[in-house]
Amino acid sequence: MQCTGGKNAMLTASRRAGATVACLLASLAVVPAVSAQEPAPPRAAKAQFDSGAAALKRNDAPRAVAAYRKAIAIDPAYYDAHEAFFDATRRVFEKGDTAVDETTYSDTLELNRHWKADSVANVALRHQYERWAAQHPKVAAYQWALGELSGSQGYHTGETPEAEPHFRKAVELDPKFVRAYQWLSLLAEMRGDDSASAEYLRKATRADTTDVEDAFEYAWKYRGSDPEKYRTLSLDIVRRFPTNQRSAQILYWVGYDAQADSDRIAIYERLRTQFPPDKFSWSSGAMDALQDAYIRVAPDKSLALAQDMLRAAADVGDEREWAPRVVLARNLTLARSLAVEHKYAAASAVLSATQLPRRWENQEMFALLQAALADSAGNTKAAYDSLLVQEAKVPGDSVHAALVRYATKLGKSAAQTDSQVWVLRDKTANPATPFRLASYRGAHDTISLADYKGKVVLLTFWFPGCGPCRGELPHFQRVINALQARGVAYVAINVEPEQDADVVPFVKGTHYSFTPLHGNERFAQEAYGVRAEPENFLIDGQGRIVFKHFIAGNAAEERTLTLMIQSILAHAQGTPELGSGR
């Protein structure tokens, strides 16, 4: 689930063909939204708003623009009317429809011949709000709108340095302006100032104690830096908002972060009870992880949960996920029963015929169980061979220990085993696409992949507005801090040039050690097949991609990344990694 976040992350991911639903669901930095304490608009303003909405349904964007303008004139603090005015104006320019109040757009209509419609609309809107702000300097809404419209290259995201003075002015005029605090928090986060980001969110939560969105974001700020505070704040939100979808999301992530299976099970059982999976998507999304935890420590509950979920899925005609999971639970139970009866070959056959979920978190456990059954059946070589494949794909401590045992039993040395692991890795390793990209260090400084010859390169594709990218970076940094002295380079390519101005402040503010390079979406996709961020690669000293498509969102994934890098380093040094003792 660690694939996305932040307003711009959501917008960017959604316009890419390769973006996934999971990536969008994982986008945690919410778009500044309606505050529950924003006053209801006057009846006359609401009537004009409804008239504009009706006009849009008839595809009459000019009439909608006129209606929303009237709603704003009646109530300048009617924020929904401002956002609807933005949208309707863009529709006018998309159609090339100039049948609209030319006192508003006369100075920008000519640009329509040269610029994209959305860019023209943004210029037109900015000019209008600049006039309104000059006419009404005490109205916070106009400053907020100018911040919203400060995006570059046609994006009205508000995620540019030019937006910040407007949002600051808005909260100066209205110290309880929640939406402006939300934007200021996001901008501070993008430049790496987590302390300021958290403080803006704290002010937002104080300005509106009924707003679950700000409370959620404020708690989330501490997920990496202070897990106990994060958990305390998060569970307090669940107490205060016991039926809100955000509370379901909170329990999902608290359970995801749980280190012990018993804790994860307790959290996800609460999630299942308090937020029924058939009504809450975050609860439904956690049930596979609950079943996986049951498989590890409470197998008898695994089948019952899968059957319950299958019945619910059948009601909506979608049994694709849970039908195989029912079979999986049954087969694991059967295999374990056969093993108790010393029918190891039969148990192994059951598991071999079992379809596994994609990217299953119990893959290592399953591989170890299959190997143990093969070994108990007298086929140690099959056990050894199966774990060679597992170790080559995803190195793990338990797999390593079992592989050493089977290797010893077969009379194989650590060097022989290590060599066989790398025979498998060599088959899938591919040359990394060479590059020479501009560095953010100086105007004439460039860096090439060849500059890192002989080093292991942790390469990540990211951009400052990507929440999941920012979420991975602390985990990467902890790994790098432990291994950097051993010849590891850490490189991050920004794929969003419009966010160039945020890169250096972000790196300085966070003190991350990666080398930031200029890139773009086209390069990322054509050179490395990247379709959504974050995307990560490990490149060995010979310039080959050895591991890819991995994530780092918790301690277990940090450990996996550490083992991946250690294995490449040991191989380069000619040291049998399996004999290292880890």
| Domain shared by 173 and 45, yes or no | yes
Contact 189, 465 (CB under 8 A): no
Chain centroid to Cα 220, Å, comes to 13
At which of 332, 349, 377 does a domain end? 332
Distance separating the N- and C-terminal Cα atoms of the chain: 29
| Domain shared by 221 and 123, yes or no | yes
* CATH number for the domain harbouring residue 198: 1.25.40.10
For 487, residues 6+ apart whose C-beta sits below 8 A from its C-beta are 454, 455, 456, 541, 569, 572
At which of 274, 304, 332 does a domain end? 332
Contacts 24+ apart (CB under 8 A), 575-580: 576/413, 576/414, 576/415, 576/417, 576/418, 577/414, 577/418, 577/421, 578/400, 578/403, 578/404, 578/407, 578/414, 578/417, 578/418, 578/421, 579/413, 579/414, 579/415, 579/418
Flag whether 397 is in a domain: no
Instruction: State the helix-helix crossing angle for 281-297 and 245-257, rounded to 10 degrees.
Output: 30
| Domain shared by 195 and 272, yes or no | no
| Domain shared by 251 and 208, yes or no | no
| Domain shared by 134 and 267, yes or no | no
Flag whether 346 is in a domain: no
Flag whether 199 is in a domain: yes
Per-residue pLDDT of the chain (582 residues; tens, 9 = 90+): 333 333 333 333 322 323 322 332 233 333 455 455 678 899 999 999 999 999 999 999 999 999 999 999 999 999 999 999 999 998 888 775 444 444 444 444 444 443 455 677 888 899 999 999 999 999 999 999 999 998 644 344 566 778 999 999 999 999 999 999 999 998 888 888 889 999 999 999 999 999 899 899 999 989 878 989 999 999 999 999 999 999 999 999 999 999 899 999 999 999 999 999 999 999 999 999 999 999 999 999 999 999 999 999 987 777 888 999 999 999 999 999 999 999 999 999 999 999 999 889 999 999 999 999 999 999 999 999 999 999 999 999 999 999 999 999 999 999 999 999 999 999 999 999 999 999 998 767 999 999 999 999 999 999 998 989 998 999 999 999 988 767 899 999 999 998 998 899 999 999 999 999 999 999 999 999 999 999 999 999 999 999 999 999 888 899 999 999 999 999 998 876 654 445
Give the full edge-to-edge strand order of the sheet including 430-431: 430-431, 544-548, 535-539, 456-462, 488-494, 515-518
pLDDT of residue 93: 83
pLDDT of residue 367: 96
pLDDT of residue 469: 94
| Domain shared by 134 and 206, yes or no | yes
| Domain shared by 205 and 308, yes or no | no
| Domain shared by 317 and 259, yes or no | yes
Flag whether 55 is in a domain: yes
Flag whether 266 is in a domain: yes
| Domain shared by 124 and 149, yes or no | yes
Instruction: State the helix-helix crossing angle for 43-57 and 61-74, rounded to 10 degrees.
Output: 170
Helix, strand, coil % over all residues of the chain, rounded to 5: 65, 5, 30
pLDDT of residue 578: 54
Total structural domains in the chain? 3
**The tokens of 574 are what?**
């000619």
**Per-residue DSSP letter, 362:** T
**The tokens of 252 are what?**
């999902």
Centre a 10 Å sphere on the Cβ of residue 504 and count the other Cβ atoms it contains: 14
For 138, residues 6+ apart whose C-beta sits below 8 A from its C-beta are 173
* CATH number for the domain harbouring residue 555: 3.40.30.10
**Per-residue DSSP letter, 537:** E
pLDDT of residue 37: 60
Candidates 281, 278, 307, 275; CA nearest to 294 is: 307
Contact 111, 87 (CB under 8 A): no
Q: Residue 306 sits in which domain range?
A: 242-332
| Domain shared by 201 and 54, yes or no | yes
- 3-state SS of 425-475 is HHHHCEECCCCEEEECCCCCCEEEHHHHCCCEEEEEEECCCCHHHHHHHHH
Secondary structure class of 335 (helix, strand, coil):
helix
At which of 283, 307, 332 does a domain end? 332
Distance CA 534, CA 536 (A): 7
| Domain shared by 222 and 323, yes or no | no
Flag whether 516 is in a domain: yes
pLDDT of residue 512: 94
Flag whether 482 is in a domain: yes
| Domain shared by 100 and 181, yes or no | yes
pLDDT of residue 555: 87
Beta bridge partners of 437: 447
For 255, residues 6+ apart whose C-beta sits below 8 A from its C-beta are 263, 264, 267, 268, 271, 286, 289, 290
Flag whether 542 is in a domain: yes
* CATH number for the domain harbouring residue 291: 1.25.40
Distance CA 329, CA 340 (A): 17
pLDDT of residue 480: 95
pLDDT of residue 114: 37
